[in-house]
Amino acid sequence: MGALHQGHIRLVEKSVEENDYTIVSVYVNRLQFNNKSDFDNYPVRHENDIKMLESAGCDLAFIPETSDIYPEGYSKIKLDLGSLNDVLEGPLRPGHFDGVVQVVYRLFDYIRPDRAYFGLKDYQQCQVIRLLRNAFFPGITLQFCPTSRTETGLAMSSRNERLSAEGKAKAATLYKVLDTIVRLSRHIEAPDALLYGRHMLSEQGIETEYLELAHADTLQKGKKWFRKGKNVVLVAASIEQVRLIDNIVF
């Protein structure tokens, strides 16, 4: 959605390395926002974005108008998200994933790429996009790439621009908590590890919406550790009125 950072650029560079032609779409999709003020405050930096994309070797920046994506008379597609809409982000952000489905469908339909690259910071969104691909675009290969982080561990996000220096330092606690839970998983049961993680967040005065263990494939919550490689711990929290999400898979 623009306001590009080095995490986005790493996706672009990976595409440039692996493909003959790289297209990057930049579009702030109103349908993904269930909070109007969040949409109104979302940073737009098209000039800077284009410069960054040129430097990264992008061949084409696709920056459509809303009328291009949702022309008059456009009918929404329907996709059953099943349980993905009932857990974690689903109940907290009504309509968000439907907005993701609509815009990604339109972008895939416009561009018809061989491969599409997404960052795993938005883990649940990646699962939604996988369902969309399976239903409508089976020929597209999806590349889900590791979350890019700052030196402090903070997941790179356009929303970080709205944080003060103190807020960014505080936000780095999210990754510290996730990393601590991974280490604790070798010694204690999942509920106790999550309880300690919530305590760490509370100690920093961080308002948390959830900190949960789920199965990496289904996102169904777990009370016990899953087998290696199938655990994902996800967190959503607000710092300085900026909503942040992060996750770790192990």
What's the distance, Cα to Cα, between the start and end of the chain in Å? 28
Alpha-carbon distance 118 to 125, whole Å?
A: 9
Query: What are residue 39's DSSP bridge partners?
Result: none
Alpha-carbon distance 6 to 120, whole Å?
A: 14
Tell me if 63 sits within 8 A of 27, measured CB to CB. Answer: yes
Phi/psi at 32 (nearest 5 deg)?
-85, -10
Which residues does the annotation mark as catalytic? Answer: 8
| Tokens encoding 21 | 């032609």
Query: Helical H runs in the chain?
Result: 6-18, 36-40, 46-56, 66-69, 89-92, 96-111, 123-136, 165-171, 173-184, 190-203
Strands 207-215 and 141-145: unpaired
Alpha-carbon distance 218 to 159, whole Å?
A: 27
Tell me if 46 sits within 8 A of 28, measured CB to CB. Answer: no
